[in-house]
């Protein structure tokens, strides 16, 4: 924070734009694929603040809106599995019990409600997708939120390819 606050006001937007362009450049260099297994971190709650008298930190519960976006403009893809695991690695639920097709530029949405605390702070999804031929890989993100009148917490996590 000290570095950013020391920068001239006009320099901060330039840094944000540069970071966005670097992210787009990295995404543009992704190879075409006909299928992948993806790891998506998900947080059903966040620890924060100081420890209380019993040695535990404060917790904030979050919902997770999972978005699987087909970034290919001419080919469909198929999601065959979206398995939700808890912090200990135990399978909690299969969110896609039968394969689901996502049309070109379409999106499949999944939702973990605010009241589902079973995943914990280290929860994750393993998502498997395939296509008939090489296509642009999907963009898979989880939007986490706890929105209240007094304060709001919103952040995004992004999936990464699991190499076998």
pLDDT digits (tens, 9 = 90+) for 64-107: 999 999 999 999 999 999 999 999 999 999 999 999 999 999 99
E-strand stretches of 31-102? 33-42, 45-51, 57-61, 63-69, 77-85, 91-94, 100-102
Half-sphere exposure of 5 (CA within 13 A, CB side): 2
Residue 27 has what pLDDT?
A: 52
- Is pLDDT above 90 for 63? yes
Closest CA to 129 of 65, 30, 39: 39
> What average pLDDT does this structure show over 30-35?
91
Q: What is the pLDDT of residue 58?
A: 84
Least confident stretch, 13-27, 30-44, 135-149: 13-27
Q: What is the mean pLDDT of residues 3-15?
A: 43
* pLDDT, position 29: 58
pLDDT at residue 60 tops 70? yes
Residues shown for the chain = 164
pLDDT (mean) for 39-60: 89
With a CB cutoff of 8 Å and minimum separation 6, the contacts of 51 are 57
pLDDT at 44 over 80: yes
Helix, strand, coil shares, percent, the chain, to 5: 15, 50, 35
> What does pLDDT average to over the chain?
86
Phi and psi (nearest 5°) for 17?
-65, -45
Domain 33-161, CATH number (from 2.40.128, 3.30.1360, 2.60.290, 2.60.40): 2.60.290
Which has more pLDDT, 113 or 24?
A: 113
Asked if the model's pLDDT at residue 25 lies above 60, the reply is: no
**Cβ count within 10 A of residue 54:** 5
pLDDT over 90 at 30, yes or no: no
Q: Pick the closest to residue 70 from 137, 23, 161, 143 (CA basis).
A: 137
């Amino acid at each position: 924070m000290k570095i950013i606050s020391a920068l001239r006001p006009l320099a901060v937007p330039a840094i944000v734009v540069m970071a966005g362009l670097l992210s787009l450049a990295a995404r543009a260099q992704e190879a075409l694929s006909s299928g992948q297994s993806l790891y998506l971190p998900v947080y059903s709650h966040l620890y924060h603040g100081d420890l209380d008298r019993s040695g535990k930190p404060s917790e904030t519960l979050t919902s997770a809106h999972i978005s699987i976006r087909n970034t290919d403009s001419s080919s469909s893809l198929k999601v065959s599995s979206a398995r939700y695991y808890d912090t200990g690695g135990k399978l909690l639920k299969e969110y896609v019990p039968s394969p689901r097709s996502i049309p070109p530029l379409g999106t499949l949405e999944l939702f973990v409600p605010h009241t589902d605390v079973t995943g914990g702070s280290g929860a994750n999804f393993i998502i498997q997708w395939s296509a008939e031929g090489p296509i642009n890989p999907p963009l898979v993100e989880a939007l986490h939120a706890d929105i209240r009148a007094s304060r709001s917490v919103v952040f995004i996590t992004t999936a990464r390819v699991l190499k076998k």
